[in-house]
């Protein structure tokens, strides 16, 4: 069972099933659903087969195994039929999480999540509208997983000019699907995510949807159905890397919305041999300050566009689940209310100490990121800008969550490796692939052929009316 992360004094927890939390991801007072307790895993008895390991972890949460088992078949379509690939480079373990259809780690959770959501809606005889806010990777992965669904329609909100060209083209390639709508907004990811949360709690909007026989849900990592599957790949990497109770390892995560890092934290809570979790940020380094100083401060800050755009986030949703697990629901509501009113909060010395026992953090500038990409290219390895931020923190034996394939960021790769700007993105992709003797995914190359549906761009204040017009 899952409980709400925010309580007022005198209130007691409401609890919901995993299925209920997937369909209705927001709890009271604008909070989220999170586990109240964690079963301990017998790490030595866990399977090295990814699907069987997934089922072992799902059983530990008391979730209906039959609901999830068929959804795991989605991994069969990944490269070589394997969900992830762990690669050892110079004493580091690179956990490649991007072998799915949209070439980013979001597929790891969203492929099975989409199958489960579709099945639940079908069983209940209900239709759902999912709204997703994306900083670049969640959007394509959500659109892909629900493509062709008869039970789920999707609105994808992305910041116009705030994603890579390939990420934008990926989203637009789904725009002709009758159940999918891609909408660029004049703003940044935080604006998109704020709009999403406002719509999830907007009774008038939900009333309009009810008149269309639609229920409202979300596919961002505010939905615990996403987080569940982000626990599994961290444990898998620990098993494959030879970690043990006697030999725990650090896991370093490029982090924006903190869902990937939260998966590692939950794995640690369940007894996985994780020494500490490294949080790597780009120039939008609010998480670095939180972990190093105990201050979360987005006040008067402007989002900085970087070459790692999926991490260009100032308001990180899943920190709330961490605060809840460490400090409880009353304190979490207090901190979240403070963040909502002043875009800032400060932890006590004791609270900061608890966080620092588990996490450490640093951030990586674009120049440092380019230097890391160039360094690994000299060793024959193509590393994307997000993974590069984590490599800055890496030490021998660490596990690095590699969250996206380099093909989504060709201009940044070219300028980092060759020192010259990219004039033609398709040519850059093919030349780098030839130079490093790697295959390009056909789905990425196809984005540059033919005519894609045009982008629709709107003001933040127009989002609700645009969605209503589409549904009419």
Q: What does the pLDDT average to over 311-327?
A: 96
Report whether pLDDT(263) > 90.
yes
Q: What is the spatial distance between Cα 35 and Cα 43, in angstroms, rounded to a whole number?
A: 20
Query: For 350-386, how does the pLDDT look when each residue is reduced to its tens digit (9 = 90+)?
Result: 999 999 999 999 999 999 999 999 999 999 999 999 9
Q: What does the pLDDT average to over 314-342?
A: 97
Tell me the C-alpha to C-alpha distance, in Å, between residue 31 and each of 320, 327, 330, 337.
Answer: 8, 15, 11, 10
Q: What is the spatial distance between Cα 28 and Cα 18, in angstroms, rounded to a whole number?
A: 16
Report the pLDDT value the prediction gives residue 341, as an integer from 0 to 100: 96
Tell me the C-alpha to C-alpha distance, in Å, between residue 184 and each of 156, 172, 220.
Answer: 8, 10, 17
Report whether pLDDT(126) > 90.
yes
410-418 helix and 425-435 helix, angle to the nearest 10 degrees: 60
Which domains does the chain show, CATH number per domain?
43-105+224-405 (3.40.50.1100), 126-220+454-471 (3.40.50.1100)
Residues with Cβ within 8 Å of 86's Cβ and at least 6 positions away in sequence, in order, are 93, 94, 95, 96, 236, 237, 240, 241
Average pLDDT over the chain, rounded to whole?
95
Secondary structure (3-state) at 96 = strand
- Helix, strand and coil content of the chain, in percent to the nearest 5, comes to 50, 15, 35
Report the pLDDT value the prediction gives residue 197, as an integer from 0 to 100: 84
Single out the catalytic residue among 48, 87, 106, 123: 106
Report whether pLDDT(415) > 80.
yes
374 is catalytic: no
Residues β-bridged to residue 181: 155
- Given a contact cutoff of 8 angstroms between Cβ atoms, the answer to whether 31 and 320 are in contact is yes
Q: What is the spatial distance between Cα 270 and Cα 301, in angstroms, rounded to a whole number?
A: 36
Q: What does the pLDDT average to over 204-227?
A: 93
Report the pLDDT value the prediction gives residue 242, as an integer from 0 to 100: 97
Fill in the DSSP letter of residue 233. H
- Given a contact cutoff of 8 angstroms between Cβ atoms, the answer to whether 216 and 206 are in contact is yes
- Percent of the chain at pLDDT > 70 equals 100
Among 151-165, 188-202, 235-249, 297-311, name the one with the lowest average pLDDT: 188-202
Report the pLDDT value the prediction gives residue 238, as an integer from 0 to 100: 98
Q: What is the spatial distance between Cα 192 and Cα 199, in angstroms, rounded to a whole number?
A: 11
- Percent of the chain at pLDDT > 90 equals 89
Secondary structure (3-state) at 145 = helix
- Given a contact cutoff of 8 angstroms between Cβ atoms, the answer to whether 417 and 431 are in contact is no
Q: What does the pLDDT average to over 311-326?
A: 95
Rounded to the nearest angstrom, the gap between the alpha carbon of residue 320 and the centroid of all alpha carbons in its chain is 15
Q: What does the pLDDT average to over 392-398?
A: 97
Report whether pLDDT(327) > 90.
yes
Q: Using the Cα atoms of residue 11, residue 354, residue 304 and residue 155 in order, give the sign of their dihedral.
A: negative
Confidence band of 66 (pLDDT split at 50, 70, 90): confident
Confidence band of 333 (pLDDT split at 50, 70, 90): very high
Report whether pLDDT(224) > 80.
yes
Confidence band of 136 (pLDDT split at 50, 70, 90): confident
Q: What does the pLDDT average to over 60-86?
A: 94
Q: What is the spatial distance between Cα 122 and Cα 433, in angstroms, rounded to a whole number?
A: 42
Q: Using the Cα atoms of residue 186, residue 192, residue 194 and residue 196 in order, give the sign of their dihedral.
A: positive
Report whether pLDDT(450) > 80.
no
Q: What are phi and psi of 253, to 5 degrees?
A: -125, 125
Give start and end residues of each alpha helix (H) in 298-424. 319-327, 329-342, 349-356, 366-377, 385-391, 410-418
Confidence band of 220 (pLDDT split at 50, 70, 90): confident
Q: How many Å is the maximal CA-CA distance in the chain? A: 64
The H or E element that residue 167 is part of is helix 165-172
């Amino acid at each position: 069972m899952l409980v709400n992360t925010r309580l007022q004094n005198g209130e007691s927890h409401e609890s919901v099933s995993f299925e209920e939390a997937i369909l209705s991801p927001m709890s009271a007072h604008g909070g989220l659903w999170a586990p109240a307790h964690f079963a301990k895993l017998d790490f030595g008895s866990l399977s090295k087969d990814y699907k069987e390991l997934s089922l072992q972890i799902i059983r530990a949460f008391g979730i209906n195994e039959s609901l999830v088992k068929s959804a795991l078949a989605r991994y069969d379509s990944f490269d070589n039929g394997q969900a992830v690939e762990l690669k050892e480079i110079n004493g580091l373990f690179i956990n490649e999480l991007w072998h799915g259809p949209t070439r980013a780690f979001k597929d790891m959770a969203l492929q099975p999540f989409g199958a489960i959501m579709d099945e639940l809606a079908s069983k209940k005889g209900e239709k759902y509208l999912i709204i997703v806010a994306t900083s670049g990777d969640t959007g394509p992965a959500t659109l892909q997983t629900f493509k062709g669904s008869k039970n789920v329609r999707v609105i994808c909100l992305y910041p116009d000019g705030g994603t890579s060209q390939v990420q934008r083209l990926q989203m637009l390639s789904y725009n002709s699907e009758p159940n999918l709508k891609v909408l660029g907004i004049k703003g940044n990811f935080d604006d998109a995510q704020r709009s999403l949360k406002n719509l999830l709690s907007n009774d008038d909007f939900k009333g309009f949807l009810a008149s269309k026989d639609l229920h409202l849900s979300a596919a961002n990592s505010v939905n615990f159905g996403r987080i569940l599957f982000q626990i599994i790949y961290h444990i898998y990497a620990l098993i494959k890397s030879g970690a043990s109770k006697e030999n725990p390892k650090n896991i370093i995560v490029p982090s924006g919305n903190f869902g990937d890092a939260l998966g590692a934290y939950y794995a640690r809570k369940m007894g996985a041999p994780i020494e500490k979790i490294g949080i790597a940020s780009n120039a939008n380094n609010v998480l670095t300050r939180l972990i190093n100083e105990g201050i979360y401060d987005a006040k008067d800050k402007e989002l900085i566009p970087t070459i790692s755009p999926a991490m260009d986030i100032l308001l990180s949703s899943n920190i709330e689940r961490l605060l809840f697990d460490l400090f409880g629901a009353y304190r979490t509501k207090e901190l979240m209310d403070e963040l909502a009113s002043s875009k800032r909060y400060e932890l006590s010395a004791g609270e900061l100490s608890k966080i620092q026992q588990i996490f450490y953090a640093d951030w990586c500038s674009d120049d440092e990121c380019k230097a890391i990409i160039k360094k690994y290219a000299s060793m024959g390895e193509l590393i994307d800008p997000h993974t590069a931020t984590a490599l800055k923190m890496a030490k021998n034996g660490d596990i690095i969550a590699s969250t996206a394939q380099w093909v989504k960021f060709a201009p940044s790769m070219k300028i980092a490796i060759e020192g010259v700007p990219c004039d033609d993105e398709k040519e850059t992709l093919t030349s780098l692939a030839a130079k490093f003797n790697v295959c390009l995914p056909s789905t990425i190359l196809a984005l540059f052929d033919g005519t894609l549906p045009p982008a629709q761009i709107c003001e933040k204040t127009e989002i609700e009316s645009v969605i209503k017009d589409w549904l009419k």
